[in-house]
Structure 1
Amino acid sequence: MKFNTKTIHGGQHYEKETGSVMTPIFQTSTFAQISPGKPVGDYEYARSANPTRTALENSLASLENGTRGLAFASGLAATDALMKILKPGDEVIATDNLYGGTYRMFTKVYQDFGIKFHFVDMTDLEKLESLINKKTKLVWVETPTNPLMKLADIAEISKITKKHNILLAVDNTFGTPYLQKPLDLGADIVMHSATKYLGGHSDVMAGALIVKDKELGEKLHFSQFATGGILGPMDSFLVLRGIKTLHLRMQRHCENGMKVAEYLSSHPAVKKVYYPGLENHPNHKIAKKQMIGGFGGMVSFSFNSGKMEDAISFFEKLKVFTLAESLGGVESLANHSATMTHASLTREERLEIGITDDLVRLSVGVEDIEDLLEDLKQALA
């Protein structure tokens, strides 16, 4: 199947008992057995597996060309399950410009459990490889990054991780499988905050891990089963429903994202625009190489004045864009990284990775582009 067909049919089939075309919501916690240890069907207890969640997991595996998908209660729950296969003394090399929640988990939780983290610019491959030693077990890549849209060359990094026999995990939340497929580029694990583009309607919290190696899939499933960060059947249904229009939404997100980035680039009040589709983006060549069909709907920018007051004024005047956390829904959202998504970092930590107080992150939705540009125009006036 080609991708657009996969979003609707990949890993899916009608429900066998009734013929229901759409996967039903199996709102049950347990399943009958005809004799001890002999369940009626393939299911025993919903923490291990649930038919609605299984349907979603099969869809996720299909979209990313993996052998196994796992659905979690959030993107951070998915990341947490992955971190739990590590042991005290292990080392992780991660992108320096991480989503704030991931950075918080790494430094405030797992660092206290004896896991050591190194944060590095993933475009500096020599620096990345220099940090690898016998204790290194995982390289964690976020591309494009949140909120500065830095890119990493997944294929080139995978050559390094394979040479040293360590795992490569990629947060593909911003890219989505519509634009890039990390497993095909050499990654071992893909993570999604399915709350975002996969769900697509700002009405569900969910996360996902997808792998190609079956043994690794079993290990991650045990971590999920043993610690319980599963996705419920209703939420699984909502993400499944969202995935069926992923290709249509992403096409419009990309179209609108490019036009918003181009508009902001020519505005006299704007100092810098962060969008991988722009030719002046420092990682534009990487974007053209591994992002197929567009460059996404996420755009960040800063003001010529450098003043936080200008950003606050901008947010307060918006009418179509909504000032809110999160991203990836059909509606356009605006976010102030310093006080919202990356508030868990100190100001010094934010400035060190380039997140200034005047930085604005836009999640460009699927509305009419004329309305979005007019809203930006009046808010910037």
Structure 2
Amino acid sequence: MSEAFKGLAEAYASLQGARSAWFVRARHVPETIAKLGLIGPSDRLVVRANDFTDAYLHHFGNGVLTFAMDQTPEAFLDATRSSAHPAAGGPKEGHASYADGAGARYDRLFWLVNSIGCRGLRVPDIRVLAEAAREAGAILIVDNTVASAWGCQPLSLGAHIVLEALDRVAGGALHAKAVAIAVARSVSGKGRKRRTDELAHRAYCLLAQRLGGEFSQLVFNVDDADLAIISEGLQTLGERMQRHTDHARVIAEYLAAHPLVPQTCYPGLKSHPDHDVAARTLMHGFGPAVDFELAERMCAGTFIKRCAASHRDHPAGGRATRLSPLCGDESHYIRLFAGLDDPIDIVDSLEQAMRLYCNPPHA
């Protein structure tokens, strides 16, 4: 273990209010969970991530994976009840990669939600969901990639594990993609007020068994060059994320008023269904992303090609605003991540693309 890792892990854990933190070479959150083997064959994973369905289906079998229909506690409980337990009638032996001893029966329940995510950039009430998870005996995992550690602190709201793809933290400069993992403290208070969160302790044991103890890491290590980039990125994260977030709001307000945009989804708009929840869950604004729908005759792929500022080939999390089709090139839905570039230039580029689509040049 390098000193670079230890210092960075301590800094990231402090930012998240976590017991410990690790960094894993992986493209995104579902790949990270699969890579670590957190979900065994007799466990259940209930996920709400309808903008990332294919990735979860790719990494997890139908036997352990169930999709919740909404981000509410009721939807997660319904999905939990409706899924047949993989261990029912099966062998008692457990999965060797887990923290418990050999021969234990595994029937763990995991709930996973995004702090900002799904189509329409929904924001769950993490505090309420965490209370429901605790009553259900579920370890609550939050994908915090869109909001970042600067924009949301799920552990302080009751989550047990938080994961974050680090493209934006690193400003799009990583040589290999990486995901940060942080786990909640399991003990709080002193003396008679001392309390132990058993689910948080189990979450730590699962991660420590796979990765190493507090502020140590044995496998899936990110190299020192990328650790240095992440460390530098953390020092400027607040300043950069504030600009990302402020620019997203400007672009969202423009799109919300445009006659050729039937729907604009941004948690900072009062029209967003989770606006009030986002105001008490997110910090420093409402995130760097905007989802919007094009008029029916417009296709996302073609629109993006005609938009000079789409920057589809630029690195994720970098300085440039990026547009990508949310449901494929033939759909009408686009997700925009605001960059550090001038939002007025982006608005102008979007306007020109709208006009070009409506009035194409004659051959």
Alpha-carbon deviations, 1:167-214, whole Å to 9, x = none? 00000001112121100000000000012x211234442111101246
Among residues 45, 52, 56, which one is paired with 1:92 in the alignment?
45
Structure 1: how far apart are the matches of 2:6 and 2:51?
A: 30
What is the TM-score when the length of structure 1 is the normalising length? 0.75
Secondary structure of residue in 1 paired with 2:112? strand
What is the TM-score when the length of structure 2 is the normalising length? 0.78
Where does 1:252-267 land on structure 2 (aligned, <5 Å)?
252-267=243-258
Q: Which residue type is aligned with residue 201 of structure 1?
A: G
1:99–1:145: 8 Å Cα contact kept in structure 2? no
Among residues 46, 54, 69, which one is paired with 2:21 in the alignment?
69
RMSD: 2.3
Alignment match, 1:372 = 346
Among residues 344, 350, 363, which one is paired with 2:337 in the alignment?
363
Deviation at residue 98 of structure 1 after TM alignment: 4.2
Compared CA separation, residues 142 and 326, structure 1 to 2 (3 A): farther
Alignment match, 2:89 = none
Alignment match, 1:80 = 34
Among residues 268, 285, 310, which one is paired with 1:321 in the alignment?
310
Q: Which residue type is aligned with residue 237 of structure 2?
A: L
Among residues 97, 114, 130, which one is paired with 2:78 in the alignment?
130
Compared CA separation, residues 325 and 97, structure 1 to 2 (3 A): farther
Deviation at residue 328 of structure 1 after TM alignment: 2.6
Deviation at residue 374 of structure 1 after TM alignment: 1.3
Alignment match, 1:111 = 61
Compared CA separation, residues 89 and 111, structure 1 to 2 (3 A): same
Secondary structure of residue in 2 paired with 1:94? strand
Q: Which residue type is aligned with residue 116 of structure 1?
A: V
Among residues 148, 158, 163, which one is paired with 1:186 in the alignment?
158
Deviation at residue 146 of structure 1 after TM alignment: 4.5
Alignment match, 1:139 = 111
Alpha-carbon deviations, 1:298-339, whole Å to 9, x = none? 11111122542xx23321222233024763322111112334
Alpha-carbon deviations, 1:251-299, whole Å to 9, x = none? 1111110010000111121111111111111111111110121011111
2:34–2:59: 8 Å Cα contact kept in structure 1? no
1:138–1:168: 8 Å Cα contact kept in structure 2? yes
Please list every run of 5 or more consecutive structure 1 residues that lacks an aligned counterpart in the other structure: 1-48, 341-355
Alignment match, 2:197 = none
Alignment match, 1:159 = 131
Identity of aligned residues (%): 23
Give aligned pairs, total.
309
2:51–2:326: 8 Å Cα contact kept in structure 1? no
Secondary structure of residue in 2 paired with 1:249? helix
Among residues 170, 173, 191, which one is paired with 2:142 in the alignment?
170
Q: Which residue type is aligned with residue 318 of structure 2?
A: G
1:99–1:147: 8 Å Cα contact kept in structure 2? no
Please list every run of 5 or more consecutive structure 2 residues that lacks an aligned counterpart in the other structure: 86-106, 187-200, 356-363
Structure 2: how far apart are the matches of 1:79 and 1:362?
A: 26
Deviation at residue 99 of structure 1 after TM alignment: 2.5
Deviation at residue 131 of structure 1 after TM alignment: 3.4
Compared CA separation, residues 227 and 236, structure 1 to 2 (3 A): closer
Secondary structure of residue in 2 paired with 1:118? strand
Structure 1: how far apart are the matches of 2:38 and 2:311?
A: 38
Q: Which moved more, 1:230-239 or 1:120-129?
A: 120-129
Q: Which residue type is aligned with residue 185 of structure 1?
A: L
Alignment match, 2:101 = none
Q: Which residue type is aligned with residue 223 of structure 1?
A: R
Among residues 293, 316, 319, which one is paired with 1:330 in the alignment?
319
Q: Which moved more, 1:260-269 or 1:319-328?
A: 319-328
1:201–1:242: 8 Å Cα contact kept in structure 2? no
Q: Which moved more, 1:186-195 or 1:367-376?
A: 367-376
Structure 2: how far apart are the matches of 1:325 and 1:170?
A: 27
Secondary structure of residue in 1 paired with 2:239? helix
Compared CA separation, residues 108 and 368, structure 1 to 2 (3 A): closer
Where does 1:202-241 land on structure 2 (aligned, <5 Å)?
202-204=173-175, 205-213=177-185, 215=201, 216-224=203-211, 228-241=219-232
Structure 2: how far apart are the matches of 1:364 and 1:299?
A: 8
1:81–1:220: 8 Å Cα contact kept in structure 2? no
Compared CA separation, residues 129 and 223, structure 1 to 2 (3 A): same
2:147–2:288: 8 Å Cα contact kept in structure 1? no
1:324–1:335: 8 Å Cα contact kept in structure 2? no
Deviation at residue 85 of structure 1 after TM alignment: 2.9
Q: Indicate whether 1:54 and 2:6 are aligned.
A: yes
